[in-house]
Amino acid sequence: MTWKTAGVAVTGALLVAACSDSTGPQAQGRVSAVLTDAPSGSQVSYQATRAGVPMAASGFQGQMSGSAQVYIYSQAEGWIALGPPSNANLTLQASNGATVHSQVSVPEGTYTKVRLVLEGGQTDIAAGADLGGVVLSAAVRITMGGSDGKIEIEKTVQPFTVTASAAATVRFDLNSEVWVNQQTAESGTCSDSEVQQATTADIE
């Protein structure tokens, strides 16, 4: 940051100096972040298998809860957190989403990467779910993120520019139909890599 001396006055041994920022305030734009799990929205070819047999879910209902935080990246600014972690409660395989951060002020510029950090994520799948031909007789809970309960999902996106007149929304789709399957239901856990590979991100 460039600083310049705005004024100097001397009284005996006392020197008083005042400084001002020559660059002025940085222009700001606004960004929001939303977490979704659209039905059959997966664009990912990855699918869990056991002995060569696909185990992806055919149809289910459920809820995901946990802490979520989103970052955006530009070459000029580096990684910028859109806010502190927030509680996210998301209905799976539904058209609605959960707002993680709403209308956050960020420096104007072009951003090229986004990051979603999930902590303490738990997914509750209702009884009657069809997981690749196996129907659940009782509800199950799937803990997300392995032993530390934390998943970091980083995606490169089509560069998007944020200005005072052009806001943006970062939308993550968890594509749970990929990682809610027989294996994760039986084990009660889902690894980082399963969620990372399934999740997609786009900009609106």
In a domain, 14, yes or no: no
In a domain, 141, yes or no: yes
Does the structure show a pLDDT above 50 at 13?
no
In a domain, 7, yes or no: no
Q: Is the distance from CB of 55 to CB of 182 less than 8 angstroms?
A: yes
Q: Residue 3 half-sphere exposure, CB side, CA atoms within 13 Å?
A: 6
In a domain, 71, yes or no: yes
pLDDT at 7: 38
Q: In the predicted model, what is the mean pLDDT of residues 135-145?
A: 94
In a domain, 11, yes or no: no
pLDDT at 23: 55
Does the structure show a pLDDT above 50 at 127?
yes
Q: In the predicted model, what is the mean pLDDT of residues 119-128?
A: 95
The residue ranking higher by pLDDT, 55 or 157, is: 157
Range of the domain at 196: 25-203
Q: What is d(CA 199, CA 142) in angstroms, rounded to the nearest whole number?
A: 17
Does the structure show a pLDDT above 50 at 8?
no
**Number of folded domains in the chain?**
1
In a domain, 69, yes or no: yes
Q: Is the distance from CB of 133 to CB of 58 less than 8 angstroms?
A: yes
Residue 154 main-chain phi, psi, to 5 deg: -115, 130
pLDDT digits (tens, 9 = 90+) for 69-122: 999 999 999 999 999 999 999 999 998 899 999 999 999 999 999 999 999 999
Full-model pTM? 0.80
The residue ranking higher by pLDDT, 49 or 204, is: 204
In a domain, 13, yes or no: no
pLDDT digits (tens, 9 = 90+) for 155-196: 999 999 999 998 999 999 999 999 999 999 999 999 999 999
pLDDT at 133: 84
In a domain, 157, yes or no: yes
